[in-house]
Amino acid sequence: MTDVVTPTAADSGSSATEQFQQRDRARGSATPADTARVDAMATEALEALRAVIRKYQLTYAEYHAVKAWLIKLGEDGEWPLFLDVFIEHEVEKIATEGREGSVGSIEGPYYVENAPELGSAGTPPMREGEPGTPLHFFGQVRTVAGEPVQGAVVDFWQADADGLYSHFAPGIPEWNLRARFTTDAEGNFAIDTVHPSPYEIPIDGATGILLAAAGWHAWRPEHLHIRVSAEGYHTITTQLYFEGSDHVEDDIAMAVKDELILAPTATDDGRGEQVRYDFVLDPA
């Protein structure tokens, strides 16, 4: 089983913020140059907020509570978590509009670049007795024209049975349940992993405080994260879910799409399950 460390939201949150800042520096993200666009969007976003204040006659007590909560959100390092849970799904839809290939979903706060490379098939690093039903997840990467794509990188990550991600929650070995696969000559890949568990937003941090205060649940359905990239094609960042699982109908992050719901079958030895899912890439 997993160890006795009880990670706090602040632990995962700070590492999510650091991880984001590192990648952001690498991307070299600069201040947007389009003043008119920033003007329009900032003006309308602030006006939308003031409209809510007027509509609900916000009190000073509430104003102070909001200020304190926003400060805590930063202190807990939970801006990546909060934004990816409540905002990213809208950005993702716009970014992938008009694609003919496989649908995407949000990346979330817990991706790490440069996971171990395992060839076209294998088992991501995991602990002795890693909890979860064995899951054989395999498929083909091909173009919208139906041609197999050799050498596509299938970057894979998931939480453990406690809903914790390596590199973010303390006490989990480096790269646990993270790996990169490269498709073979027929475009195929195969991943031997464990069936994931539902993910609970950490309830001891600022995001959890909002969920509790609003009476919202804190759950994402069990999911696998996948990022498929190949030279000359649009990268697909997506997630896969499981038919009939808890919260597949009411994901707090609103990131489930019908096309992304898997229905695994039992393996012949009866000890695990298997499922095929193919990725179709749009030309860049």
Instruction: Give which of 195, 196, 192, 183 is closest to 123, Cα–Cα.
Output: 192
Strands 265-266 and 273-276: antiparallel
Strands 224-229 and 153-157: antiparallel
> What are the tokens at 239?
């997630």
Contact pattern from residue 70 through residue 109 relative to Fe ion, giving x for each residue in contact according to CB under 5 A and a dash for the rest: --------------------------------------x-
Rule CB under 6 A: which of 8-37 touch ligand MBD?
Answer: none
256 lies in the binding site for ligand MBD (CB under 6 A): no
241 lies in the binding site for ligand MBD (CB under 6 A): no
Contacted entry of Fe ion, ligand MBD, none for residue 82, CB cut-off 5 to 8 Å set by kind: none
81 lies in the binding site for ligand MBD (CB under 6 A): yes
78 lies in the binding site for ligand MBD (CB under 6 A): no
Spell 154-178 as b/e; 16+ CB within 10 A means b: bbbbbbbbbbbbbbbbeebeebbbb
Minimum gap (Å) between residue 220 Cβ and Fe ion: 6
The SS3 call for residue 206 is helix
Contacted entry of ligand MBD, Fe ion, none for residue 230, CB cut-off 5 to 8 Å set by kind: none
Could you tell me the end-to-end alpha-carbon distance of the chain, in angstroms, rounded to an integer? 43
Q: How many CB atoms lie within 10 A of CB 144?
A: 14
Contacted entry of ligand MBD, Fe ion, none for residue 179, CB cut-off 5 to 8 Å set by kind: none
Q: Which residues bind ligand MBD (CB under 6 A)?
A: 81, 84-85, 106, 108-110, 159, 199, 220, 253, 255
Q: Which residues bind Fe ion (CB under 5 A)?
A: 108
